[in-house]
Amino acid sequence: MNTLAEPASYFPSPTISAIQLGPVTLNFYALCILAGIAAAIWLTDRRLTRRGGQPGQVLDVVLWAIPFGIIGGRLYHVITDYQLYFAPGRDPWGALRIWDGGLGIWGAIALGALGAYIGCRRNGVHFSAFADAVAPGLLIAQGIGRWGNWFNNELYGAPSTLPWAVQIHQMNPSAGRAALDAAGNPIVLGYFEPTFLYESLWCLAAAAVLLLIDRRFTPGAGAVFALYVAFYTAGRFFFELMRSDYANTILGLRVNTWVSGILFIAGTLAFLLLRRRTPATTPSEGKKEETTTDTPTENNTR
């Protein structure tokens, strides 16, 4: 997999993945995730307000969703790539070092949704309204978060001589920087397809398209989130085929490739079923919450 043939031009990677501020270590991977979460909260707050929520109400929900999502994402990663931590000679405590990288989006969405549901129930927010409001923000958060993989010099594809091939260093996660050779220079493993960059750009473009569709066509309750699932997994399916890092496989395909394909079909079908429902709204603070029904709109009558 390694290649040291330097292309005429390439996309450099950082040689530092963390900085030490006194007793505190700031990992750039974690900072990218936090930046993505902050952008998602800001956008979701604006979108939920247009659906009847109160400004700032999103924070009451995400305080439940974020910890659930982080735990779910880490659990999915550790379970699907357990050999990285529990094979002979591996450090099982590494499963807890989330700052070194490794969050499975499917686990994060699953448990994050559970946390959001609890938060919505406790704060009088309709879950479907929140799900549709948060969908574009999730794509933006994922697009920003992928740059944490750039700092960690991970998530790349096959060796490449393309002008935008990414330079990958051998990193020392415990030191937060690249390993050095005998001359004191960072060790370069080679130049590879920047799949992290492709996924980041895909997520940001998909977020823009999702915002446009939601604004122009106002899909029914739950349909925006279903479309998020379809958009993201469509791209993730192909990016998984490009990746060259270690992963467990089923019938020759990476586990995440199978999951992406299955969820793409599920998300597409869900969108087709939900798109004609009445768009979801949530009661404003101080108003009695009304029970919603999935009454078909005029366009859905036969």
- Residues 222 and 227: their CA atoms lie apart, in Å, by 9
Mean pLDDT of 124-147: 96
134 pLDDT exceeds 90?
yes
pLDDT at 298: 41
pLDDT at 100: 67
The mean of the pLDDT values for the chain is 88
Q: How many domains does the chain have?
A: 1
251 pLDDT exceeds 60?
yes
> pLDDT of 61-103, one tens digit each?
999 999 999 899 888 888 777 777 877 877 787 777 776 667 7
> pLDDT of 167-213, one tens digit each?
999 999 888 999 999 999 999 999 999 999 999 999 999 999 999 99
Q: Is residue 137 part of a domain?
A: yes
pTM: 0.85
Q: Is residue 294 part of a domain?
A: no
Tell me which of 13-27, 112-126, 245-259 is least confident: 245-259
- Residues 237 and 94: their CA atoms lie apart, in Å, by 27
> pLDDT of 209-241, one tens digit each?
999 999 999 999 999 999 999 999 999 999 999
SS3 54: coil
For 178, residues 6+ apart whose C-beta sits below 8 A from its C-beta are 15, 16, 153, 169, 170, 171, 172, 186, 187
Q: Is residue 8 part of a domain?
A: no
Q: Is residue 107 part of a domain?
A: yes
> pLDDT of 16-64, one tens digit each?
999 988 888 889 998 999 999 999 999 999 999 999 999 889 999 999 9
Q: Is residue 41 part of a domain?
A: yes
Q: Between 15 and 103, whose confidence is greater?
A: 15
Q: How confident is the model at residue 162 (pLDDT cuts 50, 70, 90)?
A: very high
Q: Is residue 235 part of a domain?
A: yes
pLDDT at 295: 43
Give the 3-state secondary structure of 92-117.
HHHHHCHHHCCCCHHHHHHHHHHHHH
Q: Is residue 295 part of a domain?
A: no
Q: How confident is the model at residue 287 (pLDDT cuts 50, 70, 90)?
A: very low
Q: Between 252 and 130, whose confidence is greater?
A: 130
Cα–Cα–Cα angle for 273, 276, 277, nearest 5°?
90
Q: Is residue 181 part of a domain?
A: yes
- Residues 57 and 126: their CA atoms lie apart, in Å, by 12
SS3 20: strand
Domain membership of residue 132 as a residue range: 18-279
